[in-house]
Amino acid sequence: MPNIDTFVPEKIQIGISSCLLGNQVRFDGGHKNSYYCRQEIEPFFEYTTVCPEMAIGMGTPRKSIRQIRDGDVVHIRSADGTLDVTDKLNEYSQAKVEELDYLGGYILCAKSPTCGMERVTEYKIGTNNGSKTGVGVFAKKLMERYPLLPVEEEGRLHDLPLRENFFTRVFAYNDWKQMTQSGLTKHKLMQFHSRYKYLLMAHSPKWYRDLGPILADIQDVEQTAQQYFEGFMTALKIIATRKNHTSTLQHIQGYFKKQLTAEQKEELSESILKYRQGLLPLLVPITLINHYVREFHTPYIQDQVYLNPHPEALKLRYAY
């Protein structure tokens, strides 16, 4: 991945629940406008908006619908039971997700019986008693069809580590797609793994160790690539810890031991230590390392995605 000074990625296509962009598509004629999605991140992405309920012709305002569990079957009905859109929503969702293979991520609306990623209320049939065990109809079809696609709920993006993790996966997912679209080769797979070494270490040292042997003896490139990518995205879904970041930073620090002066070594060590203690954000030692990358010729470290996994303007490394 290019150095951050010249990193201007093409806009990635992101799917998003239509109501989050201020569109008045909710049952009451309102919306769930997200300032963060509309103002903060929109310049970096191209949105594909979806509202399953509007798409099947329910209109707005309309009767609110809920998930109702009857044994192993989940129905989508109005609270008064006079409207059942189970079949329509399932058929639409099944067809729609087949059109979305170009997406690099998806932002869903929480709690929605169609778009909720998790903890959607399921009501026991014939009662108003519910448990938060459901998944939105459309969201479920989406995640089943594209299990490796980065998916997150808008509300959870206010949790800074979750936000950073989501967008790290979005840019890595897009990087993989661009590589595969240009044609897979053994060399490309090895290069990809090499560039992501330290990012994988920060998220999961175990997965980093497990992924290497997959590429050690490649017989079938396509099959190996699929196996690798499944593990790769699974690893990145793990939230990187302060402990793992510290270990990763110290590994990278070792590449500069011959170039740095005693004062520079002390400065870098101190910034890593203070990050480990929670006194500095990750951005501080990363910025210092990027400075040394520019000052000294270290091609292997310069190519590491870990140092610049997403545009600096997204402000994602201030969280921890």
Tens-place pLDDT, residues 119-158: 999 999 888 888 999 999 999 999 999 999 999 999 999 9
- 28 and 80 co-located in one domain: yes
Q: What is the pLDDT of residue 319?
A: 63
Q: At which of 158, 183, 204 does a domain end?
A: 158
pLDDT at 173 over 90: yes
- 124 and 205 co-located in one domain: no
Q: What is the pLDDT of residue 206?
A: 97
The mean pLDDT of 232-251, rounded to a whole number, is 97
- 111 and 192 co-located in one domain: no
Q: What is the pLDDT of residue 1?
A: 38
Q: Percent of the chain at pLDDT above 90?
A: 85
Least confident of 61-65, 84-88, 90-94: 61-65
The pLDDT confidence band at residue 203, using thresholds 50, 70 and 90, is very high
pLDDT at 80 over 90: no
Q: What is the pLDDT of residue 79?
A: 83
pLDDT at 3 over 80: no
pLDDT at 116 over 80: yes
User: H-helix or E-strand containing 290?
Assistant: helix 283-295
Least confident of 8-12, 38-42, 98-102, 215-219: 8-12
The mean pLDDT of 69-73, rounded to a whole number, is 90
CA distance 65 to 114: 9
pLDDT at 66 over 60: yes
One DSSP character per residue, 127-195 reads SS-EEEEE--HHHHHHHHH-TTS-EEEGGGGGSHHHHHHHHHHHHHHHHHHHHHHT---HHHHHHHHHH
Q: At which of 140, 158, 176 does a domain end?
A: 158
- 279 and 316 co-located in one domain: yes
The mean pLDDT of 299-309, rounded to a whole number, is 94
Q: Do residues 61 and 28 lie in contact, with contact meaning Cβ atoms separated by under 8 Å?
A: yes
pLDDT tens sequence across 261-300 = 999 999 999 999 999 999 999 999 999 999 999 999 888 9
**For all residues of the chain together, what is the average pLDDT?**
93
The secondary structure of the chain in percent helix, strand, coil, rounded to multiples of 5, reads 50, 15, 35
The mean pLDDT of 216-241, rounded to a whole number, is 96
CA distance 287 to 257: 17
pLDDT at 9 over 60: no
- 117 and 14 co-located in one domain: yes
- 28 and 169 co-located in one domain: no
Full domain range(s) for residue 149? 4-158
The pLDDT confidence band at residue 8, using thresholds 50, 70 and 90, is very low
pTM of the entire predicted model: 0.92
Count the domains in the chain.
2
- 206 and 284 co-located in one domain: yes
